[in-house]
């Protein structure tokens, strides 16, 4: 196996180096040309324009679905003097829950934060002070509060949380920019699909809270909103009956995690007037991307989740998928693609052709060798892994369990393959035409962007000591 990997990389070493030297010479002679920019300005303009128009960048992830009906109990605004009572009930019932805590409350009761974690529950970030006017007048304030709370929890427990809930929920509070920044930063934003209404109006009794939850709706996965902050004694009283309700209906109880698909409200009419300049946008994008590195344990070998374009509610998938880049498009009928749990697998040959690459199938080894400019890759179906040599010359081995071979055709994850070959998804239209979904793709030329090559060279230098990294 090792000899095969070395042969794969070393046999391509000379042409890779020669092409990089040629490109670097061109870059030195013509440093001010558009292709020497860190990224495509047209692409960035398109993303910015889409966000300004109030259109969210579509989700590019998939999530695991539990086999059994599952309910996620969530508690907001704590920890408070009521939290120990909630924890006692959960412990007696053998149930786990998720606590979206406020930073200022956590600072006052660090022992309760640690108890939540010790007893097997999960922490989520609910900002620092819950003040709507501060949080939703400017994203930078929201961002600062999230970071402050994240640090508080990390100092108290030694762990950071990716789970986040917006005070009051996202509807009318979030715009497309909020979602975009937080997604880039690696956060999962959770609203709910059952509101106990224990905080919606004053005077709610334990009975009325229970009756509200009892109305449902009851789906395969449920996220229930409750509160353990000050003043919610009636919520504590209602909790045992609510737990019994779900047990009687056959629900399992679980904590939220980044593998659980978030419930997210639509954008709605904004309650808070905001303007976003291009300069501010670029600053926040840079900060978000930098923060996102905290979640990626990215040594050169990593387990790759099934992260593909997801169309809300479109379980069967579209009748046709169109892949569009510039003036070139590839159209795939339903029989020519695989749509599973919200992500797409597409034939490597068609995708490679769209990217301007070539594919060679090796039946004996059951591998597909793909070349696109400076990128070299082998999809090894027998090992269920992908081996890539990027423009920096570093070998990456990535577990890719979701690849499939059907009738002699190799199907690979759409988004992951694009990213590994220097491309990216810029937009997803679930219904571009009746029955047709469209994925818009940006390709930074056959050799990737200079900024991408620079970043990969830098990462390679930093990863050179990793035991599984081989730089040729």
CB count within 10 Å of CB 319 equals 13
Which residue, 418, 431, 446, 337, is CA-closest to 60? 418
Torsion of CA 336, 418, 468, 297, to 10 degrees: -110
Token pair for 307 = 């992260």
Token pair for 206 = 């334990």
Q: Which residue, chain included where needed, has tokens 């501010």? A: 280
Per-residue pLDDT tens over the stretch 300-324: 222 223 333 333 333 457 888 999 8
Distance linking the first and last C-alpha atoms of the chain = 17
| Out of 77-86, 135-144, 331-340, least confident range | 331-340
Q: What is the mean pLDDT of the chain?
A: 79
The angle that helices 139-157 and 278-292 make with each other, rounded to 10 degrees, is 20
Sign of the Cα torsion 8, 14, 15, 19 reads positive
The angle that helices 139-157 and 110-118 make with each other, rounded to 10 degrees, is 70
Which residue, 236, 241, 216, is CA-closest to 226? 236
Task: Determine phi and psi for 328, rounding to 5 degrees.
Answer: -110, 140
Spatial contact of 185 and 291, defined as CB atoms under 8 Å apart: yes
For domain 70-279, give the CATH superfamily: Glycoside hydrolase/deacetylase (3.20.20.370)
Spatial contact of 387 and 396, defined as CB atoms under 8 Å apart: yes
| Out of 84-93, 193-202, 311-320, 408-417, least confident range | 311-320
- Distance separating alpha carbons of residues 429 and 445, to the nearest angstrom: 24
| Known catalytic residue at 76 | yes
> Which of 121, 173, 227, 232 is an active site residue?
227
Per-residue model confidence (pLDDT) at position 59: 54
Confidence of residue 193 (pLDDT cuts 50, 70, 90): very high
Domain assignments of the chain as residue spans, ordered by start: 2-59+305-471, 70-279
Spatial contact of 262 and 98, defined as CB atoms under 8 Å apart: no
Confidence of residue 3 (pLDDT cuts 50, 70, 90): very low
Per-residue pLDDT tens over the stretch 355-399: 888 888 777 777 888 887 777 888 876 666 778 776 777 777 776
- Distance separating alpha carbons of residues 420 and 403, to the nearest angstrom: 15
Token pair for 454 = 């620079």
Across 196-210, b (16+ Cβ under 10 Å) vs e yields bbbbeeeebebebbb
Which H or E run includes 183? helix 176-184
Per-residue model confidence (pLDDT) at position 31: 40
| Out of 119-128, 319-328, 452-461, least confident range | 452-461
| Known catalytic residue at 341 | no
List beta partners, residue 324.
329, 440
Q: Is cis: bond before 151, omega within 30 of 0?
A: no
């Amino acid at each position: 196996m090792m000899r095969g990997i070395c042969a794969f990389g070393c046999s391509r070493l000379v042409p890779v180096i020669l092409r990089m030297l040629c490109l670097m010479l061109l870059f030195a002679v013509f440093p001010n040309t558009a292709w020497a920019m860190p990224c495509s300005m047209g692409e960035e303009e398109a993303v910015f324009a889409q966000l300004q128009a109030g259109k969210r960048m579509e989700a590019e992830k998939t999530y695991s679905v539990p086999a059994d009906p599952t309910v996620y109990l969530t508690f907001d605004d704590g920890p408070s003097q009521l939290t120990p009572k909630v924890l006692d009930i959960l412990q007696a019932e053998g149930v786990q829950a998720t606590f979206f805590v406020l930073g200022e409350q956590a600072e006052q009761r660090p022992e309760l934060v640690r108890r939540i974690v010790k007893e097997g529950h999960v922490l989520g970030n609910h900002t620092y002070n819950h003040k709507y006017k501060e949080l939703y007048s400017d994203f930078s304030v929201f961002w600062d509060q999230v970071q402050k709370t994240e640090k508080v929890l990390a100092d108290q427990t030694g762990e950071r949380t990716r789970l986040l809930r917006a005070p009051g929920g996202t509807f009318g509070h979030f715009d497309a920019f909020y979602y975009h920044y937080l997604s880039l930063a690696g956060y999962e934003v959770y609203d709910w699909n059952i509101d106990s209404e224990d905080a919606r109006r004053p005077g709610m009794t334990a009975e009325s809270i229970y009756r509200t939850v009892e109305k449902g709706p009851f789906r395969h996965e449920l996220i229930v909103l409750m509160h353990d902050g000050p003043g919610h004694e009636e919520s504590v009283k209602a909790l045992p009956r609510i737990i019994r309700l779900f047990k009687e209906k056959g629900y399992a109880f679980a904590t939220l995690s980044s593998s659980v698909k978030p419930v997210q409200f639509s954008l709605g009419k904004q309650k808070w007037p905001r303007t976003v300049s291009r300069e501010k946008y670029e600053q926040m994008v840079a900060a978000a991307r930098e923060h996102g590195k905290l979640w990626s344990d990215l040594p050169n070998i990593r387990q790759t989740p099934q992260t593909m374009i997801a169309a809300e509610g479109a379980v069967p998938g579209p009748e046709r998928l169109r892949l569009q880049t510039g003036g070139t498009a590839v159209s795939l009928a339903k029989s020519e693609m695989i749509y599973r749990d919200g992500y797409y697998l597409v034939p490597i040959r068609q995708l490679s052709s769209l990217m301007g690459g070539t594919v060679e199938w090796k039946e004996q080894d059951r591998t597909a060798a793909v070349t696109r400019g400076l990128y070299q890759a082998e999809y090894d179906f027998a090992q269920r892994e992908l081996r890539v040599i990027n423009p920096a010359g570093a070998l990456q081995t990535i577990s890719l369990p979701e690849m499939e071979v059907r009738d002699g055709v190799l199907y690979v994850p759409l988004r992951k393959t694009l990213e590994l070959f220097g491309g990216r998804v810029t937009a997803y239209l679930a219904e571009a035409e009746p029955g047709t979904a469209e994925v818009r793709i940006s390709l930074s030329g056959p050799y990737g962007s200079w900024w991408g090559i620079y970043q990969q060279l830098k990462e390679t230098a930093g990863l050179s000591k990793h035991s599984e990294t081989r730089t040729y």
